[in-house]
Amino acid sequence: MFNKRVKIKELLTWEPGNQEVTIMGWVRTFRNNQFIAVNDGSTNTNLQVLLELGKYDDDFLKRITTSAALKITGTVIPSPGKGQKLELKATSVEILGDSDPEKYPLQPKKHSLEFLREIAHLRFRTNTFGSVFRVRHALAYAIHKFFNDKGFLYLHTPIISASDAEGAGELFRVTTLPFENFPKNEDGTVNFKEDFFGRSTNLTVSGQLEGELAATAFSDIYTFGPTFRAENSNTARHLAEFWMIEPEMAFYDLEDNMNLAEEFIRYIIQHAMDHNREDLEFLAQRLEDEEKQLPQDKRSGMNLMDKLEFILKNSFERISYSEAIEILKESNHNKKKKFQFPISGWGMDLQSEHERYLVEKHFKKPVILNNYPKEIKAFYMRQNDDGKTVAAMDILVPGIGEIVGGSQREERLDKLEQRMKDMHIPEKDLWWYLDIRRYGTVPHSGFGLGFERMVQFVTGMTNIRDVIAFPRTPGNAEF
């Protein structure tokens, strides 16, 4: 059997006792024709393999280069080296795949994250990205476990959709119509009746609306899938393709919704702390080293591990949008004109700098903002009795700003229909969405969490392009 091997992460937990094992992995370094540092991706810690001098000819040894793939059988022995309790004394070495050292772009040295984005097909092999993607995996697993243990049903919502849930209009069109000769209506518009689906379709921006349909049958559901925004934003916080977690719960009001979201965030962070501490400590040190190059006022001021512990130990501050506007308006930051977007007053849409000020400077803890002006929020949010606000909530965290957005949904048919008319959203396109208000409507709520922003927050990576395997951004669809 070819793949009867032990992974390095497991092997490093053993007590050395001359056990015979087979390991497989890639060469990180090879020195003195005797010591190979091998890594198989299960951990950042390399396994030292000891070769017997004189056993292998020079031509063979020259092929043991950085990133060459090896199959090694040997005995586990105590290591005299500092910081490692065991090593593998090789009895046989097989080269599974050569790597030309003259052409291989990843050498044993520090590479910039910008350079690594250009070779994203190889960046997994670095310690930084090994840690990032093991943490990403752990968070994804924790998300499914959290909802499964609470009795939620995992729903796969469509990736091709005919609706724009957010009303933002930043859509990727899906079509099979010929680009060189679109069929047209008499008024010159594109005749989508001749398209594959017989109507205009796009890649989904959210699974929320479909999720609401299922919640009115199963009570509690969640989606976890890719979403797409054709937003021309070249920033460290935006992607054109990203993953969203969107739970929808029947019989939940806004407070229930906030309670669940706070519990959810704590749970998945705790899971990563419990199961990926080694990777998080490596990323914390990496971030600390990176920030030493920055001026004092640009540093985060809190070690990554401390920041995560801080989230776990502190309850989230809950304030209304109106209270937040007053705090921001009266802040020295605003009075001294330090905001790029000055606080103009009630009704304005808060920017990331405002959100981060509330979290990092004013409260110094995560914040849940609620009850926003209805004019700056989506049509489906429940209207409050004051006639001015909706039962919306956003969760803000240090370094990122908004990480969760949600609301109690408008369950009253007449209110929803009027709101759609006011916002010029055709009822005929969402007849199915309105139907669930006709047949057994209930108070219900939900939220969305951008998975990459959560991975960013937990790993301390400053650019969102470094927490997804192959980032899709304006002008870039490589790999």
Amino acid letter, residue 314: N
Mean pLDDT calculated for residue range 463-476: 95
| Three-class SS state of 91 | strand
38 pLDDT above the threshold of 90? yes
Phi, psi dihedrals of residue 272, rounded to the nearest 5° = -65, -40
Q: How far apart are CA 414 and CA 394, in angstroms?
A: 26
Which band of pLDDT confidence, cut at 50, 70 and 90, is reported for residue 1? low
pLDDT value at residue 56: 94
Which band of pLDDT confidence, cut at 50, 70 and 90, is reported for residue 237? confident
pLDDT value at residue 50: 97
Phi, psi dihedrals of residue 405, rounded to the nearest 5° = -130, 135
Phi, psi dihedrals of residue 60, rounded to the nearest 5° = -70, -45
Instruction: Report the percentage of the chain scoring pLDDT > 70.
Output: 98
Cα separation values, 307 from 287, 423, 446, Å? 12, 41, 27
| Domain 125-159+215-466 CATH assignment equals 3.30.930.10 | yes
pLDDT value at residue 60: 97
Q: How far apart are CA 284 and CA 43, in angstroms?
A: 16
For tokens 């979290």, name the residue: 359
Higher per-residue confidence, 131 vs 169:
131
pLDDT value at residue 169: 62
Domain 8-109, CATH among 1.10.760.10, 3.30.365.10, 3.30.565.10, 2.40.50.140: 2.40.50.140
Which band of pLDDT confidence, cut at 50, 70 and 90, is reported for residue 82? confident
How does strand 389-397 pair with strand 401-409? Answer: antiparallel
Instruction: Report the percentage of the chain scoring pLDDT > 90.
Output: 86
pTM of this prediction? Answer: 0.94
If we measure between CA atoms, which residue out of 244, 268, 301, 262 comes closest to residue 450? Answer: 244
Q: What is the pLDDT of residues 213-233, one digit of tens each?
A: 999 999 999 999 999 999 888
Q: How far apart are CA 411 and CA 222, in angstroms?
A: 19
Dihedral angle of Cα 303, 309, 312, 313, to the nearest 10 degrees: -110
Which band of pLDDT confidence, cut at 50, 70 and 90, is reported for residue 81? confident
Q: What is the pLDDT of residues 407-440, one digit of tens each?
A: 999 999 999 999 999 999 999 989 999 999 999 9
Phi, psi dihedrals of residue 273, rounded to the nearest 5° = -65, -35
Mean pLDDT calculated for residue range 445-459: 97
Phi, psi dihedrals of residue 310, rounded to the nearest 5° = -60, -40
Contact 209, 380 (CB under 8 A): yes
Tokens read off for 257:
């919704």
CB atoms within 10 A of CB 314: 12
For the chain, what are the domain ranges? 8-109, 125-159+215-466
pLDDT value at residue 445: 98
206 pLDDT above the threshold of 80? yes
Q: Give 115's contacts (C-beta < 8 A, 6+ positions apart).
A: none
Q: How far apart are CA 17 and CA 94, in angstroms?
A: 23
For tokens 């993607």, name the residue: 133
pLDDT value at residue 399: 82
Mean pLDDT calculated for residue range 44-67: 96
Which band of pLDDT confidence, cut at 50, 70 and 90, is reported for residue 168? low
Q: How far apart are CA 38 and CA 354, in angstroms?
A: 47
Tokens read off for 330:
């009266």
Mean pLDDT calculated for residue range 363-369: 94
Q: What is the pLDDT of residues 288-304, one digit of tens each?
A: 998 888 887 777 778 89
166 pLDDT above the threshold of 70? no
Q: Any idea which of 4-18, 296-310, 339-353 has the lowest mean pLDDT?
A: 296-310
Which band of pLDDT confidence, cut at 50, 70 and 90, is reported for residue 3? confident
Phi, psi dihedrals of residue 388, rounded to the nearest 5° = -115, -25
Q: How far apart are the first and last CA of the chain?
A: 33
394 pLDDT above the threshold of 90? yes
Which band of pLDDT confidence, cut at 50, 70 and 90, is reported for residue 164? confident
